[in-house]
Chain A
């Protein structure tokens, strides 16, 4: 059989491709079932990528505003005395809007007010912060009822406080303010105002703020302290670089100034995190679709036992059969990717239209997904191909009599 061995070449790839296309076209139900699962996966992948990319660009434009205009300075060992005197120095710098220390004092049990009679109610544990004179500007505290702590209160070290809306509710405080008092460390402190908006330090809406000058006079212990410097857009990087030398000219290395990442870096950071999440979702969706192709291919192998056996009788090698099944899987994957890709694009356009966003679309995604789905289709057809090629033609032909 030397002649046979020499001439035993299989079907050409073009012929295999043609055979695969004819088989796929001739079995619309089988093809439809195979394509549906994978196309759903591909559509999910494209929609997830597209919607996340589109929404991400919207999110960036919103949260950049505060993040880009703040420098946060802390000193080693919470060295508060170093930070407070720096407020005025920072405020002299070009590009700085305002600066304030925010010193976290210990937690106090403050007697609440009875909502009906004004009698003392049960104690509420509240966190108290001591702030500098420019705190309202530096922290952009807003939505006031009553009044903020102005420079006069600070200079005199008056026993006054402003409270976040959350704490005001917990303590049962109500207007008019300026007459209501709360007890902090055994001292009567007059509440002069309530704020509901604290975009830079959101935890402050659940806290009581007192003048730093009053808390220093009372000798209240500071548990943590930072200096918040509100800057103009674009100034954060420069201010952050200069901050250690301003706070402690002798040992600047003890001071850390955190500037926000630049807009591009921030966007890249977010894009990376969202991208990884979306990639995992997309890969999962395609994987589910691939398993569908594998499953229907396996059922197809059982259904096509007679056909594969006939092909073997006509001279096909096991490799010819395996290659046919794998090429069919690749074609089905490609069709699924194409169909799913276009569907996913339409979903992105639809979601963007409803949300009033500008859709961010890359037509290249469809091509990438189609090729990726084709590769997955081929890979997940490997096992059915192995089963098909292992069919004994004599056995298969006997079964289909």
Chain B
């Protein structure tokens, strides 16, 4: 699959930079989900964010994924400051720079496998284009599902659904893929296969950030960041 890096490399090799990020929800009851987070995610690495439920993992990846905004602090992705970005700017950033994989594959049941993958390209370009189908097929081939391109998504297994979700994230050639509990609905065998796929995806030069409880995923990360009560408890480079 001929996928090229879509985004200029930062000169400092930093993909994500969070400075004193705090996120409060007004409630009721008011909740401080993140408190003065300082975090650096290096480019082309798989960073795993782990911690108990309610520790702030999902909030953190939502903020990095421009799905949510900070209460205070600064967020920078590939040297693009998202802190002051409005919804239109964040939408543009999501459609061009980021890919997402969630616990549920969130495939549209009224579309075929390949149409679900194409949807990411439709949003990126604002309209359907003739080349989208072939690019979607290439992405499906990269996750080993080209033979199922025309299948009804309701007939996919959980593991296959997540592979389609990875293809949907990968097809628009993002600089960063964000995964939130991607193995939460998978058995251990499917989780292992998925992690192997993530390693393949990274070979295209893509940075991956995964929020997870799963020890199998944690063991696959290059860097593991542990959170507790909305704060970074520890950060540890496992590899590299």
Binding site for B on A (CB under 8 A): 1, 4-5, 7-12, 14-15, 18, 22-23, 25-27, 306-307, 309-318, 392-394, 397-398, 400-401
> B122 touching A313 by the CB < 8 A rule?
no
Quick check: B92 and A315 within 8 Å, CB to CB? yes
Our pick among A12, A307, A316, A394 for the contact of B91 (Cβ within 8 Å) is A316
Partner of A315, one of B95, B102, B128: B95
Between A and B, 25 residue pairs with Cβ closer than 8 Å are: A1-B82, A4-B89, A5-B89, A7-B96, A8-B89, A12-B127, A14-B127, A15-B122, A18-B128, A22-B111, A26-B110, A27-B110, A313-B102, A314-B120, A314-B168, A315-B96, A315-B124, A317-B87, A393-B67, A394-B59, A397-B67, A397-B106, A401-B104, A401-B181, A401-B184
Q: Known A-B contacts: A315-B92, A397-B180. Give 20 more (CB < 8 A).
A: A1-B82, A1-B85, A4-B80, A4-B90, A4-B93, A9-B126, A14-B127, A27-B110, A307-B108, A311-B123, A314-B95, A314-B100, A314-B119, A314-B123, A315-B91, A315-B123, A317-B91, A394-B58, A398-B58, A400-B106
Q: Is the CB of B84 within 8 A of A314?
A: no
List of A residues within 8 angstroms of B108 by Cβ:
307, 310
CB pair B92 A8 closer than 8 Å: yes
> Interface residues of B toward A: which range?
35 or more
Do residues B85 and A401 form an inter-chain contact, with CB atoms below 8 A?
Answer: no
Q: Which residues of A contact B59 (CB under 8 A)?
A: 394
Chain B 161-184: CB-based contact to A (< 8 A → 1; otherwise 0): 000000010000000000011001
- Expressed in whole angstroms, the minimum distance between the Cβ of A285 and any Cβ of chain B is 31
B88 at the interface (CB under 8 A from A): yes
Given contacts A9-B126, A15-B128, A315-B92, contact A306 B120 (CB under 8 A): no
Q: Are B110 and A23 in contact (CB under 8 A)?
A: yes
Taken together as a complex, chains A and B put the C-alpha atoms of A306 and B100 apart, in Å, by 14
Residue pair B67, A312 in contact (C-beta under 8 Å): yes
**Closest chain B CB from A100 CB (angstroms):** 79
Q: Is the CB of B110 within 8 A of A306?
A: no
Contact (Cβ within 8 A) A11 B126 = yes
> With an 8 A cutoff between CB atoms, is B68 at the interface?
yes
Are the CB atoms of B84 and A22 closer together than 8 Å?
no
State which of A11, A25, A400, A401 has its C-beta within 8 Å of the C-beta of B123: A11
Instruction: Tell me if B10 counts as interface (CB < 8 A to partner A).
Output: no
B94 in contact (CB, < 8 A): yes
Please tell me if the beta carbons of B94 and A397 are within 8 angstroms of each other in the complex. Answer: no
Q: Verify B88–A317 contact, CB threshold 8 A.
A: yes
B163 CB, nearest partner CB in chain A, Å:
17
| Bound Cα distance from A115 to B39, whole angstroms | 112
CA distance A397 to B89 in the complex (A): 20
- Give me the 3 closest cross-chain CB pairs, A-B, nearest first: A315-B95, A26-B110, A4-B89
Q: Does B6 contact A (CB under 8 A)?
A: no
Beta-carbon contact of A394 and B109 below 8 Å: no
Report whether A1 and B91 are in contact in the complex, using a CB–CB cutoff of 8 Å: no
Q: Known contacts A306-B106, A401-B184: does B126 contact A313 (CB below 8 Å)?
A: no
Inter-chain contact A315/B94, CB cutoff 8 Å: yes
**B81 CB contacts on chain A under 8 angstroms:** 1
Q: Which residue of A lies closest to B91 (CB)?
A: A317
B55 at the interface (CB under 8 A from A): no
In the bound assembly, the distance between CA atoms of A15 and B95 in angstroms comes to 15
Nearest residue in A to B100 (C-beta to C-beta)? A313
Complex-state Cα separation, A1 to B86, whole angstroms: 9
Complex CA–CA separation, A100 to B151 (angstroms): 90
For A4, give its contact among B65, B85, B124 (CB under 8 Å): B85
The answer to whether B110 and A22 have CB atoms under 8 Å apart is yes
Docked CA distance A14–B81 (Å):
33
Task: Give the CA-CA distance A9 to B168 in the complex, in Å.
Answer: 21
Q: Which residue of B lies closest to A12 (CB)?
A: B127
Inter-chain CA distance A7–B94, complex, in Å, is 12
Q: Which residues of A contact B123 (CB under 8 A)?
A: 11, 311, 314-316
Q: Chain B nearest CB: distance from A328 CB in Å? A: 12
A11 CA to B89 CA, complexed, in Å:
14
Are A394 and B67 neighbours in the complex by a CB distance under 8 Å?
yes
Considering the chains assembled together, what is the distance between the CA atoms of A5 and B86 in angstroms?
8
Among residues 113 to 138 in chain B, which have CB atoms less than 8 Å away from a CB atom of chain A? 119-120, 122-124, 126-128
Docked complex Cα distance between A310 and B108 (Å): 9
Contact between A401 and B95, CB atoms less than 8 A apart: no
Whether B87 contacts A1 by the Cβ 8 Å rule is: no
Q: Are A4 and B68 in contact (CB under 8 A)?
A: no
Q: A313 is contacted by which of B94, B109, B181 (Cβ under 8 Å)?
A: B94
**Cα distance A297–B100 when bound, in Å?**
28
B144-164 contacts to A, CB under 8 A, are none
Q: Is B35 an interface residue (CB 8 A)?
A: no
Minimal Cβ-Cβ distance residue in B for A16: B127
Let me know if A25 and B110 touch, CB within 8 A. yes
